[in-house]
């Protein structure tokens, strides 16, 4: 029997965490244009979630942030000189470009990559396909840098293959694990990879969203499963319900969640949902698929409370669900209470993730799940694995380097750039990773 365990990889919040309203179709992002952000609180909330996971006995790892602003991007736009000159000129000429370059959306690590575990691939390697994120202008800046960072961390080429992000063409728009889900029955070792898309070559108009962009192409999903060498007959290609996207489910993980044999999804999450359920059940025995009706929770309600972005964790005591506090409102709470009553899940905790939620990211958005064998866990740099000691060090790091508040005007402050560099330099020392950033070369 393969001893496959799901490691949770969460990105650390970066010192320039702010709300730029950069994601068209993500209602929380659009609503919080220009709101004052609280980077320190955001970083603590994210660390508290990681601590929670660690204390449930699940392996929790941390992924360092990217350096912002992305000066190479701004140089590519024609700005010249040192960091201070570039930031100030950009703030004067085109503040929107500066907001893109300062974005910390990489924190939502579910979008970092799609992971295919070694047990599911023909070549028995664990494959990472970093997402190109090309539908949103700020996130399209993440893919290559994340590719380099994943390479630096998952160094063991005998076990891990880090692919380049898919080519930057809209035909291959890819948002990583937010639109991918792996079902797995640990008893029988049956598995299925569910790939959900919202665009495809020749897709009929009635399957396309009318209001907001579909961010994931079918051709990208097929390419990811090809790169990941997924064993034949274990992938399912499914179309996201356009009504869900138009209601604000810009990623499938806003209306669909689960782990192993459990899936929780909204009645209006997918096209031809009954067919989807039968297909999964035929690939993986003993699935528990729970559909929440629109009567119990409308799509609009699902998008505002993020119930389906709950983080499902398989623990020794059963399934533990982490939800944002917004799910304590009457109607979502009633759904959750019923899940507990029916023994669909065994425990739930509600967390304050307000700073992440303001950008449209719930508990599941903040982590990338990496199913690993024990020898693969041993091959990880132990320095990125969270322990009580490391948690305290990271909390002190946040207190030493993060501002309490950040306004849009602060994004032009050159001091913020030096603070970020100092913070990231201190972080690599704390984590004991060798240099991860170009400025450390
Ligand atoms: O891509 N928000 C992210 C939220 C990602 C959530 N991830 C998952 N569903 N897995 C996005 O829309 C907001 C940035 C801003 O407005 O400044 C943002 O990028």
Residue from 325, 318, 362, 364 nearest 339 by CA? 318
DSSP state of 30: H
- Quote the pLDDT of residue 294: 98
User: What is the domain range of residue 327?
Assistant: 4-440
Query: Which of 16, 17, 20, 29 best tests ligand 1's pocket when mutated (most atoms within 8 Å of CB)?
Result: 29
Q: Are the CB atoms for 424 and 394 separated by under 8 Å?
A: no
Q: Residue length, the chain?
A: 441
**Atom number in ligand 1 closest to CA 110:** 10
- Quote the pLDDT of residue 380: 92
Calculate ∠ Cα 250-115-284, nearest 5°: 90
Has 193 been annotated as catalytic? no
Please give the order of strands across the beta sheet that includes 256-259: 256-259, 262-266, 288-292
Kindly give the confidence (pLDDT) of every residue in the chain, 441 residues in length, as a single tens digit, with 9 standing for 90 and above.
788 999 999 999 999 999 999 999 999 999 999 899 999 999 999 999 999 999 999 999 999 999 999 999 999 999 999 999 999 999 999 999 999 999 999 999 999 999 999 999 999 999 999 999 999 999 999 999 999 999 999 988 899 999 999 999 999 999 999 999 999 999 999 999 999 999 999 999 999 999 999 999 999 999 999 999 999 999 999 999 999 999 999 999 999 999 999 999 999 999 999 999 999 999 999 999 999 999 999 999 999 999 999 999 999 999 999 999 999 999 999 999 999 999 999 999 999 999 999 999 999 999 999 999 999 999 999 999 999 999 999 999 999 999 999 998 999 999 999 999 999 999 999 998 878 898 988
Calculate ∠ Cα 224-228-232, nearest 5°: 100
Query: Which of 99, 359, 364 best tests ligand 1's pocket when mutated (most atoms within 8 Å of CB)?
Result: 359
Atom 11 in ligand 1: which residue has the minimum CA distance? 23
**Atom number in ligand 1 closest to CA 19:** 17
- Quote the pLDDT of residue 105: 96
Q: Given the residues 18, 180, 193, 251, select the one marked as catalytic.
A: 251
**CATH number reported for the structural domain that contains residue 241 in this entry:** 3.75.10.20
**Atom number in ligand 1 closest to CA 18:** 17
Other CB atoms within 10 A of residue 2 CB? 12
CA of 24 to the centre of ligand 1 (A): 10
Has 405 been annotated as catalytic? no
**pTM of the complete model beyond 0.85:** yes
CA of 341 to the centre of ligand 1 (A): 33
Enumerate residues lining ligand 1, CB below 6 A.
19-23, 26, 29, 103, 105, 108, 110-111, 136, 139, 178, 250-251, 253-254, 359-361, 365
Q: How many domains, in total, are found in the chain?
A: 1
Residues in contact with 291: Cβ distance below 8 Å, sequence separation at least 6, in sequence order: 265, 266, 267, 273, 277
Q: How far is CA 149 from CA 12, 130, 437, in A?
A: 13, 10, 9
CA of 142 to the centre of ligand 1 (A): 12
Has 180 been annotated as catalytic? no
């Amino acid at each position: 029997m393969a001893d496959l365990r799901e490691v949770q990889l969460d990105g650390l919040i970066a010192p320039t965490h702010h709300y730029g309203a950069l994601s068209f179709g993500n209602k929380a992002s659009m609503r919080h244009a220009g709101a004052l952000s609280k980077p320190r609180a955001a970083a603590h909330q994210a660390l508290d979630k990681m601590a929670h996971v660690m204390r449930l006995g699940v392996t929790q790892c941390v992924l360092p942030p990217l350096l912002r602003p992305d000066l190479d991007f701004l140089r590519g736009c024609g700005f010249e000189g040192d960091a201070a000159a570039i930031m100030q000129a950009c703030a004067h000429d085109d503040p929107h470009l500066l907001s893109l370059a300062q974005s910390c959306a990489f924190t939502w690590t579910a979008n970092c990559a799609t992971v295919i575990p070694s047990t599911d691939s023909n070549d028995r390697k664990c494959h990472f396909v970093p997402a190109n994120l090309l539908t949103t202008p700020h996130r399209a800046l993440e893919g290559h840098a994340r590719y380099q960072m994943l390479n630096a961390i998952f160094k063991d080429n005998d076990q891990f293959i880090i692919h380049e992000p898919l080519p930057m063409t809209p035909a291959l728009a890819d948002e990583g694990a937010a639109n991918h889900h792996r079902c797995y029955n640990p008893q029988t070792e049956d598995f299925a990879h569910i790939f959900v898309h919202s665009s495809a070559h020749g897709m009929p108009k009635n399957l396309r969203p009318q209001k907001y962009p579909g961010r994931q192409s079918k051709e990208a999903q097929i390419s990811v499963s090809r790169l990941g060498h997924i064993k034949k007959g274990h992938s399912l290609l499914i179309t996201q319900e356009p009504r869900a996207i138009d209601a604000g489910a810009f990623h499938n993980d806003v209306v669909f969640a689960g782990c192993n044999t459990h899936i929780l999804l909204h009645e209006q999450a997918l096209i031809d949902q009954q067919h989807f359920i039968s297909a999964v059940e035929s690939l993986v025995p003993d699935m528990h698929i729970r559909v929440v009706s629109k009567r119990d929770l409308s799509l609009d309600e699902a998008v505002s409370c993020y119930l389906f972005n709950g983080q499902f964790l398989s623990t020794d005591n059963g399934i533990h669900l982490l939800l944002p506090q917004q799910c304590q409102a009457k109607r979502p709470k009633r759904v959750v209470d019923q899940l507990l009553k029916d023994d669909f899940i065994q425990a739930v905790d509600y967390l304050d993730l307000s700073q992440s939620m303001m950008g449209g990211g719930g508990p599941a958005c903040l982590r990338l799940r990496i199913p690993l064998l024990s020898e693969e866990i041993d091959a990880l740099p132990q320095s990125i694995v969270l322990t009580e000691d490391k948690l305290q060090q990271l909390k002190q790091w946040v207190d030493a380097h993060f501002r309490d508040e950040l306004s849009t005007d602060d994004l032009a402050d050159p001091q913020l750039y030096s603070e970020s560099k100092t913070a990231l330099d201190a972080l690599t020392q704390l984590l004991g990773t060798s240099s991860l950033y170009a400025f450390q070369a």
